[in-house]
Amino acid sequence: MVVVGAVLGPAAAARRPVEFAVLLLAAVAGGVAGPSVRAAIFRHSVPGRDAFRSRCPRCAAALAVGTRVPGAWPRKGRGPAAAVVPRRWWRAPGPGRLPASGRAPCCGVRIGPPAASVEAVSALACALVVAARPGPAAVAGCWIAVCGIALVAVDAAVHRLPGPLTVATTAGSGFALVPTAWVDPAGVARAVAAAAAATGVLLLVRAATRGGLGGGDCTLAPALGATAGRDGWPALLLAGLVGAVLGALHALVVAARTGRVRGVEVPFGPALVVGVLAVVTAVGPPG
């Protein structure tokens, strides 16, 4: 926090105290979004491109996360691998909601994250973002925080960032800039430029590593770049540095556990999301 504050001192000084009622409202909104985030985590935490789950792993009953859709076919069998694979991921049904109990409403089997964990993290994340970014700028920060929970959980579980989640996150971040376009056009311009810069850098890294960086990370780059870059280039660079350090530390831990250095694969999405949110919550821009 001290390092971030030193780099972005002017932005930190511009923060305004936030009323408790506003923080409570943000926390409630985050908690309400929790069941949808929980459903997205369950739905997309399956290996394989464009795969998603829509049925209970025990009784195969259709859950609230979607049912059969035209142009899709179900995978045979039950268990965690059971999924519905659409020919085009954008034809998949919406994420729906799952109860905060962490159990399937059909037979009560435990599915997804532990009970109330997603809802609690989502509520806390939204409250922290609003405390750091009072005003219209909080919309983009909360959107990244809520979507980031699902992205981090899925990427950590199956090492992929699903297209529906990354596209929705990026599109939502773009729409979140609209309320501030008239109030702070310079900030919006910085956010757009930062989004383009972040995307270009990750595309170059992907090309240099010959696919070592996933396409989902590149799709998510505009959203993360715009959120961090609204403060200016120092914030964007710091967010990238934090993400790179976290990713490197994760790779070192995995290498130490497996006893090998080459061929180590670690999800980079969580490091990117945490890096951006760390900068945003440590020093939020004025709304």
Domain boundaries of the chain, sorted by first residue: 2-43+115-282, 51-111
Per-residue pLDDT of 234-268, as tens digits, reads 999 999 999 999 999 998 998 888 877 776 788 89
CA distance 16 to 6: 18
Reply yes or no on whether the pLDDT at 77 is more than 70.
no
pLDDT attached to residue 184: 84
pLDDT attached to residue 170: 94
Q: What is the pTM of this model?
A: 0.80
Per-residue pLDDT of 95-154, as tens digits, reads 467 888 888 888 888 888 888 999 999 999 999 999 888 777 788 889 999 999 999 999
Per-residue pLDDT of 190-240, as tens digits, reads 999 999 999 999 999 999 988 788 889 999 999 999 999 888 899 999 999
% of the chain with per-residue pLDDT over 70: 79
